[in-house]
């Protein structure tokens, strides 16, 4: 069912870069990171890989306030949300308080179907705050 994906060194490199951090990273950041690391991978490939990983639920994706996509390999498989640092991307996986049932209920009441929800918290982590305030 799951289409066969060849394991190439590029895919391994991207996956490795993701595994190496807890922070949400953009495709371009990962691209640079891999280049600096010596495992240069084409930008297009980074995008493609992230896309397939996301499609397979292997990585979580979210959008910055200005629309940029950020990726992160999460520990949990089950659905969850995040508390993300706006400046460094550090993220903590959190539970949404009964968001699911609430979402379903509200949606049904309005006649909507195929419901999905987005719940993310953005903030400044302690480290970044300290760095900023000096």
Residues of this chain that interact with DNA (CB under 7 A) are: 4-11, 26-28, 40-45, 47-49, 51, 66-69
**Packing angle between helix 43-55 and helix 27-37, nearest 10 degrees?**
120
- Whether residue 59 contacts residue 73, with contact meaning beta carbons closer than 8 Å, is answered with yes
Exactly one of 33, 106, 131, 134 binds its own copies (CB under 8 A); that residue is 106
- Binding partner selected for residue 26 from its own copies, DNA, none, CB under the kind-specific 5 to 8 Å limit: DNA
What would the two tokens of residue 102 be? 């609430």
Near its own copies in 34-73, by CB under 8 A = 63, 67-69
Query: Crossing angle for the helix pair 27-37 and 9-19, nearest 10 degrees?
Result: 110
Q: Is the CB of 66 or the CB of 116 nearer to DNA?
A: 66
98 near its own copies, rule: CB under 8 A: yes
Within 72-91, the residues that bind its own copies by CB under 8 A are: 83, 85-86
Which of left, alpha, beta for 103 (phi over 0: left; psi -120 to 50: alpha)?
Answer: alpha
């Amino acid at each position: 069912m799951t289409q066969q994906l060849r394991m190439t060194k590029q895919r391994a490199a991207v996956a490795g870069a993701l595994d190496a951090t807890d922070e949400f990273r953009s495709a371009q950041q990962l691209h640079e990171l891999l280049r600096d690391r010596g495992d240069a991978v084409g930008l297009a490939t980074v995008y493609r890989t992230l896309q397939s990983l996301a499609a397979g639920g292997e990585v979580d994706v979210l959008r910055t306030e200005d629309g940029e996509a950020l990726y992160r390999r999460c520990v949990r498989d089950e659905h969850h949300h995040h508390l993300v640092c706006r400046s460094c991307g550090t993220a903590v996986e959190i539970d949404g308080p009964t968001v699911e049932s609430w979402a379903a209920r509200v949606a049904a009441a309005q006649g909507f179907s195929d419901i999905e929800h987005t719940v993310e918290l953005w903030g400044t982590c302690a480290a970044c705050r300290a760095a900023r305030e000096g």
